[in-house]
Structures are given as C-alpha cells and as structure tokens.
C-alpha cells in the first residue's frame, strides 16, 4: 500500500446497536435517520423505462478482504469464523506467504471463499504460482491470478535485473508479461482472468503497464501487442494526501474511473500515470475498462472514528459495484500484530473482537443473502426525482424474484430527503437498516411511493415482484 495509513477478526457475532453518531463538527444525529411515508394513491407513479437489476449474487461475489489466515499471528479457526460472519466471498492470497493450499480449500468448503492468487510483494516464482494455481483450480478455489504487489514499495530482481522502486520497471513488465503467458498457455488455467500489477502508476520508465495490452503506436519500451492482464488492478485507498479529511461522497469519489478521482484510482494508474504522467487509456475507454480493487480501506484514528470507519466500509462495496468494479478487497480482516502502523485497519481487533464495521457488513450481507440462481434479472420502474449528488441507488434482484433497492447517502453531516417512486402499487414493501440489525425496521402496505430521510448509510427496500397490484 502506498498510503501512509495503518491497516485488521473474534468475539464472533457481537451485536452492536448504534444510537448516535458524533460527527467531526460535534453535531449528533440519529444513525438510523429514517422517515417512510406516502400511501398508495397519494402521488402518481413516475413514468420511466425501468431499471434493469443486477444479480444479488454478483454483488456478493464482489465482496472481499485480506487475511494471513493462519500465519503472522492469525488463527485458522477464528479466520474461518470471521469470514462466515462477515459474508465475504473472496480473499486475496499469494505465494509469498506460507499458508498451506489445503487451508484455502478448507475455507472454500466451509465458507464458500475463493482466492485471488498472486506473486505478492517481491515474488517472482511464476512456476510455483502456476503449480499451486492448478491445485486450487481443481478444488474450485481459484478466482483469478494477480501480478506483483506494489513494486514501487517492493523492488525485486527478475532474470538477473533489479527493478521496481526508483529503478527501471522493465523487469516488472517482463515478469507480468511472462505471468500472463504462463496462465494463458496452461490448458487447465487458460480461462482464469489475470489481474494486473499495483501500482502501475508509479512506473519510472514507460514500459506500458498502464495498458492491459499495449496498443499499436503507444511508444512504450515493451513491444506493441504485449499482453499484461485481463483486468486493471488498483489500490484506491480513499484517504489520500490529495483527499485527506472527512468529506461527502468519500468512497463514491474514490471509485470514480475518471480524472475527477483524487486518489490513486483508475485514471492515475491507467489513464495518465501519477508518477511520470505517461499516457494510457482515454477517459471514454476507462469507463468500460475491466477493473478490480485488491486493496482499499482506512485506518481508525483522528477524525476517522470506529463509526466513520464502519460507515466508510459499508458504502465502499456499494460504490465500487455501482461504478463498475468487479471485485473489491478491503485491507484488512484482522489488525496486523507483526507490522508497525497496521493495527487499526481491520474489521476485527487483534483479539478477534469485531469492530462496528464487521457488524454492519454482517447485517448487510444477511439482509441481501441469496444462495439461489437467477438466469436473467428483471426490471423495476422506480425513479428518484432530483436525486442529490450525495445520494446513490443500486437495484439488486434475488433468485426468488424479490427486488432489493439499496438507497444510500454519503454525507458527513446533515440529511438528504428523497422520494422513491416505485412505478406501481405494491402490497408490502419492507425497509431494512444495516446499521440497526438484520430484521426490517418498517413495513409499508399498499404503497407506490416512499419518502426517505437519509444521512450517512444505506437503507434497503425489499420489494416482492408478486406483490405488485395492477
């Protein structure tokens, strides 16, 4: 990680019911700031073309975190319990650690986890990565391969040439290209995606790592057509020297694929590199570029209280998914005990006591839980007229047809009052608040419109398709 922040599972299942949030300005307001009014017929339904839902399972699959599992002071059984409680679907892993592959297989069998599998920090052993990757693929554990982690921080020697940090990045480019070719030439592994390196934006020389495939005429040190990856890979920590303090839309802005992003986001890595300003993809190309985040998060300290940490991480997964990121990994599951500066990042404290962030994510994944299969998501004719810039929405659908409309605000202080028109009248719409618990906080009957008073977290509207009235 390039950020200057520090980074964290179990008294598993501790229930925390927040009552108030203390902002950095000293103002108090209810965490569960919710008002639901408007009976059927009180407002006409807005005319829309409808919104196509995303599968709830696709959103779940995007949720990841990072753990040493059973080394660096961590305990396998507690790691398992933490993963089950959070509802995370994948972990980031790599061959630099000494975790047995058998433990990855156990975590998959008991918690449904899959793993990205990378060279790690300073690793160059592609043959070992491929050999262990085959074993993981055979067990259904493998999610993707990943290139070197932060060569700007972890230089290495490849084929006799030192690279990374402030040296040439040509050895890194050759390593990543060789990794890609090794995966794609393997008959067992060729269909698994390869994620690029982080942080490509720190290139000292223009080796073309700002591209997935170097285009013709790019003028890079590596040849045109060199293939590096199937997905761009970013560490977009949302507290950054360019965006250091509390602000509205904190995690929403960090997920922005355009040049408007102030942190080490997609543009700074793959559009115009932040270190030497090498040109990469256009903003139009970045909007649809396949992308993942293998590290993001924040430490607790200063204005970032445990509550703000929890709210940031809760909105983070929604923002990333809404803005086109296929997978997002939060650093860290449990605070590091063997690494200075990384004791306040995690969902869990060193003694495995869950922080509020763990409780909120558990509540969200429990509310949205769906283990079924949905072949083709449907459409819902909802609308939010004059939606404020700090309010966002995401329509998900479960395998039983139920829509889960997530509406959230990212205000540091104050509230947003929004109207949600449902495009029809429904017999029953339940409202859930993951900062309160896993059961509905209100049931609304015979409604075609709801007014929500939002502050700093999501509300989930559960809308059964069978409940729509003609």
Mark whether 391 and 432 lie in a shared domain: yes
Q: How many domains does the chain have?
A: 2
Contact partners, residue 191, CB within 8 Å, separation at least 6: none
Identify whether 4 is part of a domain.
no
Residue 424's alpha-carbon distances to 35, 186, 336, 406, 465, in angstroms, are: 20, 52, 50, 18, 11
d(C-alpha 87, C-alpha 354), whole Å: 14
Higher pLDDT, 13 or 362: 362
The confidence score (pLDDT) of residue 342 equals 65
Q: Using an 8 Å Cβ cutoff, are 348 and 9 in contact?
A: yes
**E-assigned strand segments in 313-390:** 327-330, 379-380
Taking residues 157-184, what's their average pLDDT? 97
Last residue of a domain, one of 346, 367, 388: 367
- pLDDT digits over 266-287, tens only? 999 999 999 999 999 999 999 9
Last residue of a domain, one of 304, 334, 367: 367
Q: Check pLDDT > 60 for residue 103.
A: yes
Mark whether 119 and 253 lie in a shared domain: yes
The confidence score (pLDDT) of residue 307 equals 98
Range of the domain at 108: 58-367
Of the ranges 140-154, 210-224, 392-406, 455-469, which one carries the lowest mean pLDDT score? 455-469
Last residue of a domain, one of 367, 394, 420: 367
The confidence score (pLDDT) of residue 298 equals 97
Mark whether 315 and 425 lie in a shared domain: no
The confidence score (pLDDT) of residue 467 equals 66
pTM of the model: 0.90
> Percent of the chain having pLDDT more than 90?
84
Segment holding 114, helix H or strand E: strand 114-120
CATH number where 442 lies: 2.60.40
- pLDDT digits over 10-69, tens only? 333 333 333 333 333 332 233 333 433 333 333 333 344 789 999 999 999 999 999 999
**Stated length of the chain:** 470
Q: Check pLDDT > 80 for residue 136.
A: yes
Region of 36 please: left (phi>0), alpha (psi -120 to 50) or beta.
beta
Q: Which two tokens stand for residue 112?
A: 């449904």
The confidence score (pLDDT) of residue 413 equals 96
Q: Give the chain's mean pLDDT.
A: 90
Of the ranges 24-28, 137-141, 183-187, 360-364, which one carries the lowest mean pLDDT score? 24-28
Q: Check pLDDT > 90 for residue 338.
A: no
For residue 415, the tally of other CB atoms under 10 A from its CB is 17
> Percent of the chain having pLDDT more than 70?
89
Mark whether 139 and 195 lie in a shared domain: yes
Mark whether 40 and 78 lie in a shared domain: no
């Amino acid at each position: 990680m390039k950020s200057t922040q520090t980074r964290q599972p179990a008294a598993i299942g501790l229930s925390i019911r927040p009552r108030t949030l203390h902002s950095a300005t000293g103002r108090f307001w209810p965490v569960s700031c919710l008002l639901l009014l408007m009976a059927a017929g009180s407002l006409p339904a807005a005319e829309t073309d409808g919104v196509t839902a995303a599968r709830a399972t696709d959103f779940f699959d995007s949720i990841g975190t990072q753990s040493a599992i059973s080394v660096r002071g961590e305990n396998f059984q507690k790691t398992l319990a933490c993963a089950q409680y959070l509802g995370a679907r994948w972990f980031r892993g790599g061959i630099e650690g000494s975790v047995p592959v058998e433990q990855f297989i156990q975590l998959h069998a008991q918690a449904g986890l899959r793993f990205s599998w990378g060279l790690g920090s300073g690793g160059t052993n592609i043959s070992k990565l491929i050999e262990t990757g085959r074993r993981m693929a055979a067990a259904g554990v493998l999610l993707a391969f990943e290139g070197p982690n932060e060569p700007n921080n972890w230089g290495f020697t490849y084929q006799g040439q030192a690279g990374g940090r402030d040296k040439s990045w040509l050895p890194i480019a050759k390593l990543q290209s060789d990794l890609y070719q090794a995966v794609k030439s393997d008959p067992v592994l060729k269909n698994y995606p390869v994620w690029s390196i982080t942080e490509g934006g720190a290139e000292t020389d223009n080796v073309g790592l700002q591209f997935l495939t170097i285009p013709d005429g790019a003028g890079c040190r590596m040849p045109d057509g060199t293939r590096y990856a199937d997905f761009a890979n970013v560490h977009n920590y949302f507290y950054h020297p360019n965006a250091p303090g509390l602000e509205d839309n904190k995690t929403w802005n960090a997920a922005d694929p355009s040049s408007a992003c102030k942190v080490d986001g997609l543009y700074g890595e793959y559009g115009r590199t932040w270190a030497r300003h090498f040109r990469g993809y256009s903003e139009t190309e970045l909007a649809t570029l396949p992308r993942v985040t293998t590290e993001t998060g924040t430490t607790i300290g200063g204005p970032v209280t445990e509550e703000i940490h929890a709210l940031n991480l809760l909105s983070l997964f929604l923002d990333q998914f809404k803005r086109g990121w296929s997978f997002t990994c939060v650093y860290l599951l449990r605070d590091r005990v063997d690494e200075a500066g990384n004791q306040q990042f995690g969902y869990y404290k060193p003694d495995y006591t869950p922080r509020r962030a763990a409780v909120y994510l558990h509540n969200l994944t429990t509310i949205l839980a769906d283990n079924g299969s949905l072949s083709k998501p449907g459409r819902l004719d909802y609308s939010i007229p004059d939606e404020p810039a700090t309010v966002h929405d995401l329509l998900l659908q479960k395998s039983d047809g139920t829509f889960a409309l997530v509406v959230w605000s990212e205000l540091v202080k104050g509230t947003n009052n929004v109207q949600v028109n449902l495009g029809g009248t429904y017999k029953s719409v339940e409202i859930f608040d993951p900062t309160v618990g896993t059961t509905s906080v209100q049931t609304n009957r015979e409604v075609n419109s709801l007014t929500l008073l939002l502050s700093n977290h999501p509300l989930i509207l559960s809308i059964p398709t069978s409940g729509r009235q003609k």
